[in-house]
Amino acid sequence: MNQILKLVDYRGELGRLAYFSRSIYRIPLMIAVIAINFGLNLLIGYPPSVELFQTSLSDPLVTVMSLVFFLPLTIRRANDAGISFWWVIIFEILYLVLEPSEEMVSYGIYTLLVTIPYLVWCLIIVFKPGKALREHRRSNAT
């Protein structure tokens, strides 16, 4: 039970390397959730197809579980990088905006307003130095 609570703990800080490694550890959990969702759709009676797998990825169960697994990590990483909690919330809401099909006119607007800012956010959260690096630089400067 303690391991499960540790999985969703959002308190504290998390360095870049720990953020990356813990994200890698959670990927098999997400693959299991996607497989379970795909299996449940097959049990309901949907025929197996690529379209069913793609809709499984955007299913609410998969979305909620991805937030449960990855949101605490992002919050802890933002704490370490000195980024406000509200920026995490804004970009996670932005991530939840449904993507239009490529044939629609709004696809370009979606790319400009959602995809590019979310990509920039991911790069900032991964590459912005945290407190450990700042303290190391301060100790070397004196």
55-107: pLDDT as tens digits: 666 778 888 888 888 898 899 999 988 899 899 999 988 888 877 777 777 87
Contact 41, 49 (CB under 8 A): no
- Summary mean pLDDT of the chain: 82
**Whether residue 46 has pLDDT greater than 70:** yes
Judge contact between 35 and 57, C-beta under 8 A: no
Q: What is the mean pLDDT of residues 28-44?
A: 86
How far from 96 is each of 15, 34, 76, 102, CA to CA, in Å?
A: 25, 17, 20, 18
Looking at residue 20, its pLDDT comes to 87
Q: Provide the whole-model pTM.
A: 0.77
Torsion of CA 77, 127, 20, 39, to 10 degrees: 90
120 pLDDT above the threshold of 90: yes
Helix crossing, 116-127 with 60-81: angle to 10°? 50
